[in-house]
Structure 1
Amino acid sequence: MNHGSHYNLAKNKIIMIMAGLMVVLLLAAFDYSIIGTAMPKVINSLQGMEYYVWPFTSYMLTSTIAIILFGKLSDIYGRKHVLMAGIITFVITSVLCGFSTNMYELILFRGLQGIGGGILISLPFIVVGEIFSPRERAKYMGILASVFALADVLGPILGGVITDNLGWRWIFFINVPVGVAALIIILYSLPNFKSPDIKKVIDYFGIITFILSLSALFLGVTLAGDLNTHSFAEITGLLVFAGIMFTMFIWAEKTAVEPILPLNLFKNSIFSVSSVGSFLAGALLFCGMIYVPLFAQDVLGMSATNSGFIMIPMLLSLTITSILTGLIISRTGKYKKLAIAEFIITAIGVVLLATMNENTPYYLLLLYSTILGIGSGMAYNIFNIAVQNAFTLREIGVVTASMRFFRNLGTILFVPIFGYIMNFTLISSSTVNLSETQALVLSIQNIFLAATVLAFAGLIVAFFLKEIPLGEDVPTTS
């Protein structure tokens, strides 16, 4: 059954909706990148260096959980209501973060803010999937994805300026005017789409087991990074608990009326392949985002500001290729060759990054990280478009949210693994007579070598991606 009628929106209405969605995404995306620059100041002000990563990790955990939960709830209650609730949650918790008096409060409020953040990051992509035909969708997805790259480029610079001139609390307070603007635009422009034939049944058992399994896995992996303070038994206990909860989650999803993650989606090979592809692409991008600035600062001896500038070509190439990939898919209606090309380019990027040492001139660091950026930028769109094209409109919410979820999961699981590789290399190189810089070079080389393995795995996976040519018509609900 074709619901063409309420998608035939006027041009000015589309511009308004896209503007609203971009402001929403900008709000959440800036938050990721701004806090990085401000964290050293935050630590000085609130104390608690040992909790340095927790404001990031608590946010990352809750936002990853929220992506799946609210993707599903928006099927039931409509995109507009859930999106507006997300903006309001995000703005209120931003204010709370800004008023934090110690690290524990900041970690707690960041966790709550992540719930809003997860909604803001996934729902715009779902709405674009619903409004446009598969061919058009690619173009608009590219425009949305470019917001992330814009935020990644400007975030660290803005974060520095705000922190230096107004104080770190303003990186949170600045979300208020932006959030209010987003709320007003969405309120007036966005129709409230919901799937007509969805039963209003909430899968409580699925939700609880999902949250517990992911939280336990996340905590286990994070704490394992510091074996000196946490016993092996604690970590194993957490991981075993995660396993038990995950098994219960699978059972819950098999029996639920409206499961939050319908397992039959995995019967579709495009969904399974794209999930693995998104997972690997998320890990590969973050590998560059974290270790390129570290190499620039601690090996090549650059200042924090200059290492921020080193990232600009990588992030600009990410933005441009994200938009171009969307346009190419829109023009040709095909995506498989691009998925293969994406992992080849990413592999070349990480292989080159793995060859760097303390004598590497900075322009080569620029060139290599830009190649990684080109590959990573392509990944933003390909898998989203492939899965949206493979399912009916009724499932678009959950399949789009799932891609974002697996991308985040790749980041969550691999960031600590890259951390282990680093610590392990540093510890083992202290037995041989290497200078600190040489030990650091070696550990960063090992991280990029590990990333090379991921890129090749991604390449193999991409060959299994089935291609369904994209249609010109407005999506159908049947």
Structure 2
Amino acid sequence: MMAGDSAPGTPAAGQPAGPGFSHRQILVTMSGLVIAMLLAMLDNMIVAPALPTIVGDLGGLNHLAWVATGYVLASTVATPIWGKLGDLYGRRIVFVAAVALFLLGSALCGMSQDMAQLIGFRALQGLGAGGLMVGVLSIIGEMIPPRDRSKYQGVMMAVMPVAMIGGPLIGGFITDNLSWRWAFYVNLPLGAVTLILCWITLAKLPKGTGKAVIDWWGTALLTVWITSLVLITSWGGTQYDWDSPQILGLAALAVAGFVAFVIVQRRAVEPIMPLRVFKSLNFTLSGAIAFISGFAMFGAIGFLPQFQQFVQGASATNSGLLLMPMMIAAMVVSLGGGALISKTGHYKSLPIIGSVLITAGLALFATMALDTTTTMSALYMVVLGAGMGAIMQTSTLIAQNSIDLRDMGAGTGVSTFLRNMGSSLGISLLGAVYTSQLADSLADAGPAAQNVAASAASMTPQALRALPEAAQHLFQQAVTDGVTALFTWGAAVTAVGIVLAFFIRQVPLRSTAAPAASPDAEPVAAGR
């Protein structure tokens, strides 16, 4: 591909804005990506308010975390694979295939008859979802130089108000007035439009050779050690003791799988996760911070509705509305941060500020009690959302600025993989903390809580309101104990991100799509 115009300003229509793409061509291509991004973001936002009703309907509080974990785990495993396939076979066909698989999973989720089916079909949906975000980011990364990228990402950010505000409202409305199954079926008409638009608008993207060898061993080993790790965090201390043969066996399998994976990646002709990208310190640090932010984000979105619906008495629709302060704060800070980076080229301060705010937000949530008002929890959400907004776009931008164009898909896949890995472990680990603490709180309440504990696995907000007031209080206290425990652990993890952010180096953003030199030889910081 030809090197594009390196001017930092927005190109005039018809002039090159990236490697071979004019400003007009980029905007036309991005029309399909905008809808795809909306599709990916809407799914999480719509399903979150419906989770308490879904779990209560199908039964199994112990499987609550796996409704989300199955999705995120599959997405995590698939992300680097989709990214590498895009490098090898061309982004158009690979991206459209990911959208189609996501839609198939959505349809099957809506038809689920029990928790096992729902978890399995969520995993299938997650396999497709893994290709949506990495596909969008890789396509943008291939077309647009890092210094100009934040201006075009502003177009992508225009979908955030619809997804972040409309998603919870749609999910809550569907749950209260239709059926939770439509939280999945709603993806189908939007997905059909996405398939048509992306097939047309992505036609100008370079096509792959289709002759490369797929790293099947790397793919299999990646699946083994990630799944083992998530199972450890999900089952350890709850279903099995930490020193049980099951957990120790999974730990040994995770370590052996990871070591074998690294060996295979060093020797593979076309590794699914090229280890050379980690030679860049900035890439590694931004990936670690993305991991931590994913851990925090899904913990907040996944479990806050439990407190809002069971303790604060919100309906599914209102619990979606109550998430708005966090989403709006994330959107505003992300847009402002993108504009700042585009204008000044400076980005180092954003990961530091974002990490501090995320830790502070989680710490504030850890102080919640039965009498915490919706106003106070909304203020906590603003703090957490602002931190997410400062990190989400910046971590990806730093990662892409540190890799060569040949690794754009794989490198973006690795960065997204690390964020998803944090989400997967966050959901499973924090979910285990939540359910364990909830059960312990009910057990500590003595005989008075026996009937409540027996029905806890299938408790819904509606069923809770039908119980005597004393029983409601016991269950609400148990939910509060579980939520505050998980946020305490979450704050401890995200505090590590503050330290890591200080080591990011202010390397000037490129005004071409690929670095002039290998990222292995990343220059010493040009800034502070």
Shared fold (TM-score, shorter chain, > 0.5): yes
Q: CA deviation at 1:12?
A: 3.7
Structure 1 equivalent of residue 507 of structure 2: 468
Give the distance between the partners of 2:225 and 2:196, measured in 1 at CA: 37
Q: Which amino acid aligns with 1:17?
A: T
Deviation at 1:261, TM superposition (A): 0.9
Which residue, 471, 474, 490 being the options, matches 1:451? 490
* Candidates 77, 82, 85, aligned match of 1:65: 77
Q: Cα RMSD between the aligned structures?
A: 3.0
**What amino acid does structure 1 have at the position aligned with 2:167?**
G
Opposite residue 162 of structure 1, the aligned amino acid is I
2:382 pairs, out of 348, 352, 370, with 370
Structure 1, residues 420-447: CA drift from partner, whole Å, max 9, x if none?
A: 4445555666658997455554544443
| 3-state SS in 2 of match to 1:249 | helix
CA contact (8 A) 1:394 1:477 kept: no
Q: What SS does the corresponding residue of 1:7 show, helix, strand or coil?
A: coil
> Which stretch shifts more, 169-178 or 273-282?
169-178
Partner residue in 2 for 1:160: 172
Amino acid aligned to 1:21: L
Cα deviation, 1:443-474, whole Å, max 9, x if unaligned, reads 44443333332332111100111121113334
Distance 1:131 1:19 in 2: 14
- CA distance in 1 between partners of 2:62 and 2:404 (Å): 47
Q: Structure 1, residues 112-137: CA drift from partner, whole Å, max 9, x if none?
A: 22211111121101111111121121
1:23 shift after superposition:
0.8
Do 1:282 and 1:411's aligned partners in 2 also have CA atoms closer than 8 Å? yes
Instruction: Rate the CA distance shift 1:477–1:154 in 2: closer, same or farther, 3 A.
Output: farther
Give yes or no for the alignment of 1:227 onto 2:239.
yes
**1:76–1:194 Cα contact (<8 Å) kept:** no
The residue number in structure 2 matching 1:28 is: 40
In 2, Cα distance between the equivalents of 1:136 and 1:198? Answer: 31
Q: 1:99 to 1:310 in 2, by over 3 A?
A: closer
Asked if 1:405 is matched to 2:417, the reply is yes
Using structure 2 for the length normalisation, give the TM-score.
0.82
Compute the displacement of 1:220 (Å).
3.0
- Cross-structure match for 1:115: 127
The verdict on how the C-alpha distance between 1:219 and 1:197 changes in structure 2, with shifts beyond 3 A counting, is same
User: Unmatched 5+ residue regions in structure 2?
Assistant: 5-15, 450-472, 518-528
Moved more, 151-160 or 16-25: 151-160
The letter of the residue matching 1:457 is: V
User: Does 1:262 find its partner at 2:274?
Assistant: yes
Which stretches in structure 1 are left out of the alignment for 5+ residues? none
Alignment of 1:351-370 (within 5 A): 351-370=363-382
Counterpart of 2:185, as a letter, is F
Match of 2:462 in 1: none
**C-alpha displacement at 1:105, in angstroms?**
3.2
Distance 1:18 1:127 in 2: 9
* Residues 41-190 of structure 1: pairs in structure 2 closer than 5 A: 41-43=53-55, 51-144=63-156, 147=159, 150-190=162-202
CA distance in 2 between counterparts of 1:57 and 1:115 reads 12
1:2/1:476 contact within 8 Å kept: no
Report which stretch shifted further, 222-231 or 344-353.
Answer: 222-231
Cα 1:243/1:182, change in 2 over 3 Å = same
Q: Which moved more, 1:10-19 or 1:396-405?
A: 10-19
Q: Which moved more, 1:467-476 or 1:75-84?
A: 467-476
Secondary structure, counterpart of 2:323 in structure 1 = helix
Instruction: Give the CA deviation at 1:37.
Output: 3.3
In structure 2, which of residues 322, 342, 348 is the aligned counterpart of residue 330 of structure 1? Answer: 342
Match of 1:344 in 2: 356
1:290 partner amino acid: G
Cα distance in structure 1, aligned partners of 2:240 and 2:203: 53
Identity over aligned residues, as a percent?
34
Matches within 5 A, 1:238-253: 238-253=250-265
1:296 maps onto 2:335 in alignment: no
Q: Report deviation, 1:53.
A: 3.8
Residue 101 of structure 1 and its aligned partner are, at CA, apart by: 4.1
**Cα deviations by residue, 1:250-276 (Å, 9 ceiling, x for unpaired):** 110011111111112222101111111
